[in-house]
Amino acid sequence: MNGKLVLLSGVVVIALLVAANSLFIIDQRQTAVMLKFGRVVTTDIQPGLHWKWPIINDVKIFDARILTSRTQTQRFLTIEKKGMIVDYFVKWRIFDVGKYYTATNGDEVSADQAIARPVNEGLRNEIGERTLQEVVSGQRDELMATLIERVSKEAKERLGVEIKDVRVKRIDLPEDVSESVFNRMKAEREQEAREHRSEGKELAEAIRADADRQAVVVQADAYKEAEQLRGDGDAKATQIYASAYSKDPEFYSFVRSLSAYKQTFKSRNDVLLVDPDSDFFRYLNSANGKK
């Protein structure tokens, strides 16, 4: 009885060992290839529970998510022969796991190095066709889109990986280039400032001239209106005086004489030689103005 139990236990252990070496699990985040004596026989194994022959088959499991390849900073030349130091990274994922394993032996470091070569070459070509300003700001998005399209096609065919994105983290300029760029930017800003000042001065002169013109027009209109009012007032005053004096001409003559006396003798130093019997003194000689 004990012998049978030992035999049964041995069979169970052997079965468990065989199952442990025959069954494997692929989850949703992974992809795998199956090898037979080191040669790829099955690729793109779907997620789930799978079976293999122990010893004969071997399974290589890889990360199917998007991976990041960080590269060393590189120095590139623009079309102006100005150097720039570019720090960038690449986002990629396994597209054909069989081709990926064959090209890189499943080593992620080897894959990073293999991806870096075409990306560096592509960046060198794209930057070499553009100016420094276009690379830094003007055409960076267009440059990256063209680069990704070119490099991804080559990476799929040669490495079995898909380039999802290439992003520049930082662009540094050598000291001589930085000084040249700074001086050029300073000159451009100074020129722009001079243009703004010139435009402002021209606009100020136009505003000032228009204000002066409006002031002259307003003063002229005001003077015209004042003269019209003064003329209307004088005419009305003359009419009132004429109406009042026409009722008593003798009184009008008397008032005019008094006004003449006032204007003539307003200073003690005034000297006037007039015949005492003249009409000028008739109201001084007689209250009724008669001689």
**Percent of the chain, pLDDT > 70?**
77
Q: What is the structure's pLDDT at 274?
A: 64
Total domains present in the chain: 3
Q: What is the structure's pLDDT at 204?
A: 92
Q: Is 193 a domain residue?
A: no
Residues 71 and 128 in one domain: yes
Residues 31 and 83 in one domain: no
Residues 49 and 77 in one domain: no
Q: What is the structure's pLDDT at 13?
A: 56
Q: Is 140 a domain residue?
A: yes
Q: What is the structure's pLDDT at 197?
A: 92
Give pLDDT tens digits for 154-204: 888 888 899 888 888 887 776 666 667 677 778 888 899 999 999 999 999
pLDDT over 60 at 3, yes or no = yes
Last residue of a domain, one of 173, 189, 212: 173
Q: What is the structure's pLDDT at 120?
A: 87
Q: Is 55 a domain residue?
A: yes
Q: Is 91 a domain residue?
A: yes
pLDDT over 80 at 279, yes or no = no
Last residue of a domain, one of 128, 150, 173: 173
Q: Is 47 a domain residue?
A: yes
Task: Please state which of the ranges 7-21, 88-102, 197-211 shows the lowest mean pLDDT.
Answer: 7-21
Residue 240 — very low, low, confident or very high, per pLDDT cuts 50/70/90? confident
Looking at per-residue pLDDT, the higher value among 217 and 37 belongs to: 217
Last residue of a domain, one of 173, 192, 208: 173
Q: Is 107 a domain residue?
A: yes
User: What residues contact residue 207 under an 8 Å CB cut-off, 6+ apart?
Assistant: none
Residues 100 and 22 in one domain: no
Quote the domain boundaries for residue 29: 18-62
pLDDT over 80 at 245, yes or no = no
Residues 34 and 102 in one domain: no
- Domain at 101, CATH number: 3.30.479.30
What are 170's two structure tokens?
Answer: 């930082």
Mean pLDDT of 32-43: 80
Residues 56 and 127 in one domain: no
Rounded distance between C-alpha atoms, residue 261 and residue 235, angstroms: 25
Rounded distance between C-alpha atoms, residue 152 and residue 112, angstroms: 14
CA distances from 166 to 37, 40, 87, 111, 217 (A): 38, 31, 11, 16, 68
Q: What is the structure's pLDDT at 133?
A: 76
Residue 207 — very low, low, confident or very high, per pLDDT cuts 50/70/90? very high
Q: Is 51 a domain residue?
A: yes
Closest CA to 24 of 1, 66, 69, 57: 57
CA 80 to chain centre: 26
Rounded distance between C-alpha atoms, residue 242 and residue 212, angstroms: 44
Residues 75 and 113 in one domain: yes
Residues 71 and 169 in one domain: yes
Mean pLDDT of the chain: 79
CA angle in degrees (0–180, nearest 5) for 254-259-263:
150
Q: Is 224 a domain residue?
A: no
Query: Quick check: 101 and 159 in contact, CB under 8 A?
Result: no
Q: Is 218 helix (H, G, I), strand (E, B) or coil?
A: helix
CA distances from 141 to 31, 59, 126, 134, 225 (A): 32, 41, 12, 10, 69
